[in-house]
Structure 1
Amino acid sequence: MNIISEFPKKFIGTYAVDTLHGLVIEPKCTYLIQKETITALKSELDSIPELEFRNNQVYDKSENKFYKTFRKGDSVSFTIERIDTIFSFAKNEIAKAYKSSLILNEQVDGKYQTNILKLTTSGVKYITLGTKNDFTKLQSELKIPFETIMEENDTVHVVLTPSRADFRKLLRKEGFDFESNFLFK
């Protein structure tokens, strides 16, 4: 596995699950896009203090943004786009490339949270490891050594310490709780 300072060209692009959910990989960052269409009566919009209807657009005061609207009778529809940065080569982030996978490590409180981007024939698979089910699956199938961190008699974190061979096997696994397939757009 090689540490990289930008994403390889074969990963660069825009991918989508549907028209409302997407993934963008640029040379220096990757982010998720989620769009949500909101439909409300104009009178309902007027009662929301953060929103203002001006010149056939909805103005969100908290975001300082205008949204294009579509009107049908008394109803007003507009689409909000949310962007969530997954990785940006920040000081606490390290990316590694291995074959057709990118391993995105973010250091949080001295430990690493790992996300994986796997290039497939139809797009990219995005995997976030971190649930109890993921841990149970990995333990039953790979027997990776781990340390349990507890606070107030409750498990807070489980730190896995896989060997290189275990990690390569982990990259071939499927069926994690937070696993999304994004298709080439």
Structure 2
Amino acid sequence: MKNLLIILATSLLFASCKESAIENNFIYFSEAQPANVNIISEFPKKFIGTYAVDTLHGLVIEPKCTYLIKKETITALKSELDSIPELEFRNNQVYDKSENKFYKTFRKADSVSFTIERIDTIFSFAKNEIAKAYKSSLILNEQVDGKYQTNILKLTTSGVKYVTLGTKNDFTKLQSELKIPFETIMEENDTLHVVLTLSRADFRKLLRKEGFDFESNFLFK
């Protein structure tokens, strides 16, 4: 019971945060991508909008921020909900005191089901973030210890493709197809990550590639 309440509380007390689909990034770049392209201070109008994979997963691009939305339905006994101080069952709905909001709620016998939204901010023009617009794509760079982790939002005929670059498989794919110069960062004979150095022409070729480990297609909504 205690473990269930901890899991439930953790699920409910979510906040906007920056998370990567890749826990241990393997690919970094020596400079913000693509090289020799102007930095932008907000996203162009053609990218602004709301996109969705399905009814539970969405992507929102605003002028100064872009984020993922995931809806999740949680089911628990009413007695378990009553044990969480931040929640209250009010007017047959779950009320979140910390967020000052009601959740869409369904009740069956002693069980309560309600739907929440999780928000994962991808990019918000923070001090360590650099955005560039290039070839119908938004290139989102985050500086980490003097190098850059790079993600891509690419306009398609049906919406937006979100690509998170960074796995060993992605690196193998890029090296076999593009032969990009790179530096290997080692620690105690183990490879921690690689740092790629690309020309603008190299990056243009990278943009044409498909089949990265973490890529999702979001449709116009």
What is the TM-score of this pair, normalised by structure 2? 0.77
Residue by residue over 1:37-75, the C-alpha shift from the partner in whole angstroms, topping out at 9 and shown as x without a partner, is 112232343455664434423245676654232213322
Secondary structure of 2:98's counterpart equals coil
Structure with the higher fraction of residues in strand conformation: 1
After TM superposition, give the deviation of residue 165 of structure 1 in Å. Answer: 1.3
Residue by residue over 1:124-163, the C-alpha shift from the partner in whole angstroms, topping out at 9 and shown as x without a partner, is 0000001011011001110101111122332222111112
The 2-side partners of 1:142 and 1:62 are apart by: 50
Deviates more, 1:53-62 or 1:29-38: 53-62
Work out which of the residue numbers 87, 102, 110 in structure 2 matches 1:74.
110
Residue pair 1:56, 1:68 contacting (<8 A) in 2 also: no
Q: What are the ranges of 5 or more consecutive residues in structure 1 without an aligned counterpart?
A: none
Counterpart for residue 91 of structure 1: 127
The 2-side partners of 1:57 and 1:153 are apart by: 56
Residue pair 1:38, 1:79 contacting (<8 A) in 2 also: yes
Work out which of the residue numbers 98, 121, 129 in structure 2 matches 1:62.
98
Residue pair 1:118, 1:126 contacting (<8 A) in 2 also: yes
Secondary structure of 1:116's counterpart equals strand
The 1-side partners of 2:92 and 2:189 are apart by: 55
Residue pair 1:33, 1:84 contacting (<8 A) in 2 also: yes
After TM superposition, give the deviation of residue 174 of structure 1 in Å. Answer: 0.6
The 2-side partners of 1:93 and 1:39 are apart by: 38
Residue pair 1:31, 1:84 contacting (<8 A) in 2 also: yes
Deviates more, 1:69-78 or 1:162-171: 69-78
Secondary structure of 1:134's counterpart equals helix
Secondary structure of 2:202's counterpart equals helix
Q: CA RMSD in A?
A: 1.9
Paired residues, number: 185
Residue pair 1:70, 1:76 contacting (<8 A) in 2 also: yes
Secondary structure of 1:59's counterpart equals strand
Residue pair 1:2, 1:98 contacting (<8 A) in 2 also: no
The 2-side partners of 1:80 and 1:155 are apart by: 40
After TM superposition, give the deviation of residue 109 of structure 1 in Å. Answer: 1.3
What is the TM-score of this pair, normalised by structure 1? 0.91
Q: What are the ranges of 5 or more consecutive residues in structure 2 without an aligned counterpart?
A: 1-36
